[in-house]
Structures are given as structure tokens and as C-alpha cells.
Amino acid sequence: MAIAKRNSVLKKLPKYLQSYVIAQPYNTYTAKDQAVWRYVMRKSMAYLSQHAHHSYLDGLAKTGISSEEIPHMQGMNRILKEIGWAAVSVDGFIPPSAFMEFQAYNVLVIAADIRTAEHIEYTPAPDIIHEAAGHAPIIANPEYAEYLRRFGEIGSKAISSAKDYELYEAIRHLSIIKEDPNSSDKAIAEAECRVAEISDNMGQPSEMSQMRNLHWWTVEYGLIGSLTHPKIYGAGLLSSIGESAWCMSAKVKKLPYTIAAAQTQFDITKPQPQLFVTPDFAHLSVVLEEFANKLSLRKGGLKGVKKLIESGNLGTIVLSTGIQISGIFTRVLAFEESPIYFQTSSPTALAYQNKELISHGKSYHAAGFGSPIGKLKGRNLAIENMSPNDLEAYGIYEGKNTSLTFEGGVTVCGEIITGRRNLQGKIILISFKNCTVTFGEAVLFKPEWGIYDMAVGAEVVSAFAGVADAENYGLHFNPPDEKTHKINYAKADKKLHQLYQTVRDFRISKASDFVVLEAVFKELTTNYKLEWLLYLELYELLKTTNLPLKQKVFECLELLKSQKPFGKLVAEGLLAIG
């Protein structure tokens, strides 16, 4: 990734996240795309100068984003590195967990595509206007940037349900086809029904779905200040010229931002009926910490292990000694609402402080891993808290044939080979040979299966999505199978783009031969009478002249103001030009 040489933040990005990164397809942006960017940015900046949080306008300058052209990723990265951030291009929506993990590494994910003129006010698909013009500027505020990083750090470890990824794929598909002008109404309707069907049958909201809600109501659609006079800071509002105005009306209910937002669902295809207002950026972190304290990441326990099992995805539990077990969890035995034995069925790795234990990677534990949890029966002292004398007294030392029965009823019988201790000297792993593990009449491990490694810990103190040591585990994410649709332009469209390019070249070169614009106008009025955006581009260049062409273009725009659905856009474009 060449841009990593220009921004050291990107050098820290793990390889498994880099699989989502694509080269920005800058050469595929048409001159009409550039006109869409100019229209949105110029109109937005005029409106947002009054209604956005002051950090937004300050941040536009700091992040090198101009209203005149779609930003180049390389240029953004050269500037973003000054505030400790970076940016990468991706293809549309990526899974929420990956999106949040990018944030944890101080990396903004920027969808490479740009909305069509037909969706100029709002698009359900992520695009470069939303990401670059919405997200990037506001991170110039240090307090907000730290909230974003911390949110990513916590959110990427939230446990998903099996339904979450299904919903993500359905939403991604809907966003792709809605932004494709060649999609049929039938295909869009079917995709909308699919999203609704999955949304209505999600069951209990997962930790990740609740994190997505918090992200939506803050990072995407957040307001800041007082309930009566809020300002905009959410990227979804900052980048939507339609909804940024709509959200300030009395039709949109304003609620104080609290942890209740985690239970408030949203619909990406419709304007939001209510928004949450935080008094300041510091309050965002207060609510985040309040919610984080409810996550399995911090609570662990039986519920945490069960959530990992229900997710069916890679996850990690941390025992009270600090040993971390990463794999796909499939079974947990419980006694009095506490886990007493867990089992993975996938390649599993053991780690401590996010570093894989030597000889305990997924190739060694390829068939899975299981271990009892808790104190020994009749012993108040947990194994990890036993002194060398205590361990010897209970028969827990090398070369000793021993039988350990735990409070929950799991028994481990075998000859101890060795043990592993953490930095504090607490034993975290005991290895047996000729070992049998039982729970009542059920046999959990047999001697012929080989060496039995028992993780030591009185309780599960944490459970989270993902693995402890991703690099050594060899974690790999596959980019989505369905790619965003690249529009196949008809011959007439390509000719229209050439007209936009002519006007763009005229502006950039500051030309004075208006005969060129006369030719563009003639072609417009002959073959593209409703191409309102190009008329606006022409009028902007002619505004300071006294040429008859200026009046002709203005009269066309006045006629277009009565046309639906873009008449309002024409009127607002004229106001922005002044």
C-alpha cells in the first residue's frame, strides 16, 4: 500500500484489515461526478456555516478538503497524519466490526464511489461525500477524535449474533442496487423487503447491533448543544444537503443523548424521525463507558461465553489469570449460573496479554480446546493463588499423578508434565499426560487424544469478538463477494460527460473564450434539456458577465425550477451561486 509511506498511521494497520482496502479509482470519476461534489460541498458549506459545530468548518481546512474537487486520498493522508489519523478507500459498506476496528487504529474508512446526481441530496450507500466531507473534518477536534478511536476499540470487540452479518449483507446489497441507475424497481423492492424481513426477525439485539445504534445516533446522526438550538456533528447529516436542513425542523424530535440510544433502531433508507443531542463531546465518552461496562468484554461470565457460542464466530475469553483462549466456542457447562467448563471446536490459540503462548497456536490446538473453570472442590483458594507449598500439598506439581475435582463437578485425572506462569508468577496453564476429564458420566477428554492442556482460572472475566493475537493466529478477512456496481454509461451519457468536462476545463483554466460555453449551451438545449446541474455550472461561470448567454441560461434555470423532482435543487443552487 503505497500511501503507507506517506502516513505512518497506516503502517500499524494489520494485514487482515488491509484486505478491505482498494486503490482510490480517481480516474473513473467523471466531470459530472466532480460537479456533484461541487454542488453538495458549496451548498453544504453555506448552510453548515450556520448550523454545524464549529469544529466542522475548522476541520475542512485542516484535512485539506476543498469544495472544488473530489479529494485525492494521497493528499488527505499527507494532511491527516498531522493530527494522527489516516484514510483508506474501500468498496462500499464493510462489516461493522471491521469498520470499527479501522477507527481503533485511527484510520478513516472512505467509500470510493460517489453518489449520482439523482441521489444528490441523500444516498443510502456510503460514498466519498459522506466519508470524506462528513467524517474527516470533524476528527480535527481532538476530544471527538479520541471518542471515535475509543468507540472503535470497544465496538470492534462487541459480540455479534448470527443474524447480524446476514443483515449487513442485505443492507449492503440494497445500498448497491439503489445507487445503480440501471436497477429495476422490482429488484429494489425485493431488496427492501429482504432488509425488512431480517430486521423484523433479529431476536434479542446483540452487543454489536447496540453498538451500531450508538454509532448511528452519534458518529452518523449526532447533534450537539442544547435541545432547542443544537448544532450538527454527525457525518450522515453533514454530508446530506437534504437531511441537514430537515433535521433542524420541528418535525424531527430532539432527545437528550443517553444510553437509551443503544436500544433505538434506525432505518438507513428513510429520514430519521428523532435525533439525539449531546451537550458536548465529553458526554459521548461518558455514555460510551457506561455502555461498555455492560458488555461481555468487561463482564465476562456465563452470559459472555453463551453469547460467543450463539454468535458462531471467532471469539476470545479471558480467565482471571489473564490467559486468553481464542476460537469458535461451541459448548459451556454451568453450575449455579457460573461457567464450569468450556469447549471450542475450531483451531484455537492460547495467549497472554495479546501475545500467543509459544507452542500453543491454532496448529497445535487444531481440533479445539476445552478446560474447567473455577476453584477446586472444598478449597477456598483458587489454583492461581496457591503458593508453591500449597500446590505441592494439593498434588499439583510436575511428575505427580493427581486428581483434581472442581466445584462444578468436572474432574481432571492425569500426570502433570509441566506448567506455565504469568508475569506475576501465577500459574496459568497445566499440561497433563495420560489424562481423563469427566463431568459425571460424560467423558470430556480421553488419554488417547494426547496431551491435555488445562487453562487455569477461577472465573471468566472477559469475553469478546475476535482473537487475542490476530497476527500469529493468521486472521484473514475476505472482502464482500458482491462489489458495488460500476455504471455502464450509454453513448449519450458519455457525450454529456464530455460537456461537463468542457465546462470544468474552462473553469480550471480560467478561460475567457465564452464561445466554448455557447457550444455547450446549444448542445444542452438540443439534447439534454433537463440537465439542471450543468446549467448551474454554466450560470456560475457567466454570472459576472453581461453576455446574452447569461440571460439565456438563467431563463432555462427559471423554467427548470418548476420541474420535479429537481426544481428545489435548482432554486437552492441559484441561491448558493448568489
Element (H, E) at 89: strand 86-90
Average pLDDT over residues 238-266: 91
Q: Which residues contact 380 (CB under 8 A, 6 or more apart)?
A: none
Q: What is the DSSP letter of 217?
A: I
Which strands, in side-by-side order, build the sheet including 329-335?
329-335, 338-344, 370-372
Is 90 exceeded by the pLDDT of residue 535?
A: yes
**What pLDDT shows up at residue 576?**
84
Average pLDDT over residues 198-205: 88
**What pLDDT shows up at residue 173?**
94
Q: Alpha-carbon distance 428 to 322, whole Å?
A: 8
pLDDT band at residue 6 under the 50/70/90 scheme: low
Q: Which of 223, 233, 227, 232 is nearest to 250 (CA)?
A: 227
Residues paired with residue 107 on neighbouring β-strands, in sequence order: 86
Is 90 exceeded by the pLDDT of residue 61?
A: no
Phi, psi of 50 (to 5 degrees): -100, -25
What is the residue-averaged pLDDT of the chain? 92
Which strands, in side-by-side order, build the sheet including 230-232?
230-232, 223-225, 274-278, 253-256
Q: Count Cβ neighbours within 10 Å for each residue of 120-159 and write b for 16 or more, e otherwise.
A: bbbbbbbbbbbbbbbbbbbbbbeebbbbbbbbbbbbbbbb
Is 90 exceeded by the pLDDT of residue 480?
A: no
Amino acid at position 377, single letter: K
The SS3 assignment for 557 reads: helix
C-alpha separations of 43 from 29, 48, 358, 530 in Å = 20, 8, 58, 20
Q: What is the pLDDT of residues 107-163, one digit of tens each?
A: 999 999 999 998 888 777 889 998 888 888 899 899 999 999 999 999 999 999 988
Q: Alpha-carbon distance 405 to 411, whole Å?
A: 4
Is 80 exceeded by the pLDDT of residue 354?
A: yes
**What pLDDT shows up at residue 170?**
92
DSSP code string of 119-154: GSS--SS--HIIIIIIIHHHTTSHHHHHHHHHHHHH
CA 400 to chain centre: 51
Is 90 exceeded by the pLDDT of residue 272?
A: no
Q: What percent of the chain has pLDDT over 90?
A: 71
Q: What's the farthest any 2 CA atoms get from each other in the chain?
A: 103
**What pLDDT shows up at residue 207?**
96
Q: Which residues contact 343 (CB under 8 A, 6 or more apart)?
A: 329, 330, 331, 332, 368, 369, 370, 444
Ranges of beta strands (E only) in 249-405 are: 253-256, 274-278, 315-319, 323-327, 329-335, 338-344, 349-352, 355-356, 370-372, 401-405
Is 80 exceeded by the pLDDT of residue 78?
A: yes
Q: What is the pLDDT of residues 501-520, one digit of tens each?
A: 999 999 999 888 899 999 99
Q: What is the pLDDT of residues 481-499, one digit of tens each?
A: 899 988 889 999 999 999 9
Phi, psi of 24 (to 5 degrees): -65, 125
Q: What is the pLDDT of residues 9-19, one digit of tens each?
A: 898 899 999 99
Is 60 exceeded by the pLDDT of residue 4?
A: no
Average pLDDT over residues 364-391: 93
Strands 223-225 and 253-256: unpaired
**What pLDDT shows up at residue 1?**
42
C-alpha separations of 242 from 40, 356, 519 in Å = 10, 50, 33
Q: What is the pLDDT of residues 292-313, one digit of tens each?
A: 999 999 999 999 999 999 999 9
Is 80 exceeded by the pLDDT of residue 459?
A: yes
The least confident of 72-81, 210-219, 250-259, 307-316 is 72-81
Is 80 exceeded by the pLDDT of residue 540?
A: yes
DSSP code string of 36-47: HHHHHHHHHHHH
Q: What is the pLDDT of residues 383-441, one digit of tens each?
A: 999 988 889 888 898 989 999 999 999 999 999 999 999 888 889 999 999 999 999 99
Look up residue 396 and give its three cell numbers.
499439583
Q: Which residue has the cell 451537550?
A: 279
**What pLDDT shows up at residue 193?**
93
